[in-house]
Amino acid sequence: MTLRFVGIDPSTGGEGSPTVWVEEESADLVLQGEEADELLKALVGSTEWVAGHKTGIPAHERVIRIPARMVPILREACDAAERAAAEHRDVR
């Protein structure tokens, strides 16, 4: 597994900070962020966001919060993931 570091919260204080990577082989985005508070998790878990889709947050998933100031970093990560996915399609 190869992770490509894309960026870290520009307001980081040197401890656990929201961070974004792209996993090169799968082109998946990998995010580290603050776990959502109970109110946000309750909202996410109790709302039927897509008609007919089961509500709730599965035990293996987490709701995280990424600060808006990281939008440019997420755009860069999306572009990198798209390029990585295209490279893997070309190889196969």
Q: What letter would DSSP give residue 19?
A: E
pTM reported for the whole predicted model: 0.80
Query: What's the pLDDT at 32?
Result: 94
pLDDT in tens, 12-53: 877 778 999 999 889 999 999 999 999 999 999 999 999 999
**Average pLDDT value for residue range 3-20:** 88
Report whether 78 contacts 29 (CB < 8 A): yes
> What does the alpha-carbon distance between residue 16 and residue 10 come to, in Å, rounded to a whole number?
12
